[in-house]
Amino acid sequence: MVLSAQIFLFYIEGFLMTLSGLYLFNLPIKMKRVCIVSVLHAFFTYIVRGIFLLYHFPFGTHSLIIWFLLFLAIKNILKLSWLQSMLVTLMGIGLLLFGEGVFLLPIMKFLGVDMVTMSQNVKTILLATVVTDIPMLFTIFISSKIKNPLIDLGDLDDPQKMKM
C-alpha cells in the first residue's frame, strides 16, 4: 500500500511541478503530454530512489538526477525550447522546495514527527505531499485566473526590455 501511494504521489508531484511552471509562463498546456511527463517523473523517482537506497549512495544527490530527467522529459515530450524547459523545471522545483521549507518542516516540528516516521504511513505521506504542494496549487490557481503570464518569456528575446 505504501509503495502504490508513493508512486501515485510522485506522479502528483511531477504533474504539479510541470503544470505550475507552464501556467507561470502562460505556455501551451497539453494535458495528455503533461500526464505522460508525470508518469515518467514517477517512474524515474521510484527507480532513482530505489537505486540510491540499494547501493547506499548519499541521499540528496538523487534529487539532481530526478530533476534533470524531469527537464529532459519536459523538453522532449512537451516540445518546448531549451530555455522554456529549463525555466518550467526550475520554477516547479523552486515551488516544491518552498513548500517543503515553509510548510512541511514547521508542521512536522509542530506534530513532533521525523521524516522516517512520516514515510512509513500512507496517511502521513499523503499529508506531507498535500502540505508540500500548497505553493504549486496556489500558483496554478492564480495563474489560471490571470490570463496574462506572470513571467513573460518574450522579454528575454527583446534586448530593449532587458535594459533598465
User: What's the mean pLDDT when you consider all of the chain?
Assistant: 87
CA atoms within 13 A on the CB side of 28: 8
pLDDT of residue 155: 61
Determine the Cα–Cα distance for residues 104 and 84; give it in Å rounded to an integer.
28
Contact 44, 18 (CB under 8 A): no
Q: In this predicted structure, what is the pLDDT of residue 105?
A: 82
Query: Where are the chain's structural domains?
Result: 2-151
pLDDT, average across residues 112-134 = 82
Residue scoring higher pLDDT (119 or 50)? 50
**55 has pLDDT over 50:** yes
Q: What percent of the chain has pLDDT over 90?
A: 52
CB-based contacts of 108, cutoff 8 Å, min separation 6? 114, 115, 118, 128
pLDDT at 162: 47
